[in-house]
Amino acid sequence: MTPALLAMTVEELTDAVQQLGHPAYRARQLADWVYAKAVTDPAAMTNLPKALAQGFDILTSRVVARADGRDGTIKLLIELADGERIECVMMPSPKRVTACLSTQVGCSMACVFCASGMEGLRRNLSAGEILEQILHLSQACKRRITNAVFMGVGEPLANYDATIAAVRALVDPQRFNISARHVTVSTVGLPKKIRRLAREGLPITLAISLHAPNDALRKQLLPTAGGTPIADILAAAQEFFEAHKREITIEYVLLGGVNDSMVCADALAKLARTIRCNVNLIRFNPVDPSTLVPPTIATVKAFAQRLGKRGVNVHVRRPRGRDVAAACGQLRRNRPLQSDSR
């Protein structure tokens, strides 16, 4: 079995290159092709012996379908080596290119507003499988990825070791070289894992998928994760803030007639003022077969204004890729897509 290149640190890659009989500097050249240029074809690595690159597994997955949104968003359906499938998304803007990454095949959290958990959890992704999404997306958009958000299929902190290994590769100056401040890990709120993350020495952004202002409603919306008291989650999040002085992001999907009342806004504001945070409001993106509906634009605006008047730093997230089911909550483990060779 050939070694998986993306799973290696640069030091490990150097050792492996030398074990194959090549000088150490070839490891830096190989890493430059893969990480800086997103080149995965050994034949295109013109300054390397072809046998060297062929001695490693660079990609174990393949793109089986692509969907292009009107706003420039690109969604890829990726088939893994064992035949399982995941989705990942690239969201471009003039000054940055953001990759939305999956960490599991399916999800066990079963959030009622999210397509990712509708088929349950199949397995965790390896760190290499997470990182391969970066290469696929970079090749698809022909631009370097500058930002990464762990907000695709799966609960990142439930696949803790692989997620952290992937984050370390992303922020490593000798690998993907993405600023830690441009990496966000989103979680439904696993307090022990959040506290562990605080000790990793990674000054990334932590996002808490809250979605309800009280424990009773949260239990209904997030059946698996909702049993953890909100107070425990926010206490752990505050510890992360104290460790890195990085404000927490609270994510709140607004569901029409469910959690979008002014009473909910007041309760959310009270929670948000207990920690250093920003609140991101997300208008629900419809998913089949859910009967949930998005609130009106006017309701979203009123909810945001209510939070702002109560001293909360609030933003309304602009939906990206909704026309190709690539927006927040719409990614799935498996679906038929039209192949796109562009």
Pick the CATH number of 5-53 from 3.30.390.30, 3.20.20.10, 1.10.150.530, 3.40.50.360: 1.10.150.530
* Active-site position among 12, 87, 114, 155: 87
Q: What is the pLDDT of residues 80-139, one digit of tens each?
A: 999 999 999 999 998 999 999 999 999 999 888 888 877 789 999 999 999 999 999 999
Predicted TM-score (pTM) of the model is 0.93
Q: What is the pLDDT of residues 19-58, one digit of tens each?
A: 999 999 999 999 999 999 999 999 999 999 988 988 898 9
Instruction: Check: CB of residue 68 under 8 Å from CB of residue 339.
Output: no
Give the residue with greater pLDDT, 40 vs 339.
40
Name the residue ranges covered by the structural domains of the chain: 5-53, 62-324
Same fold, 5-53 and 62-324: no
Q: Which helix (H) or strand (E) holds 274?
A: none
Torsion of CA 331, 324, 76, 206, to 10 degrees: -40
87 is catalytic: yes
Q: Which CATH architecture has domain 62-324?
A: Alpha-Beta Barrel (3.20)
Mean pLDDT of 325-334: 63
Residue among 138, 144, 146, 149 nearest 179 (CA): 146
* Active-site position among 88, 107, 114, 328: 328
CA distances from 209 to 59, 155, 221 (A): 31, 10, 11
Distance CA 244, CA 11 (A): 27
Residue 321 — pLDDT band, cuts 50, 70, 90? Answer: low
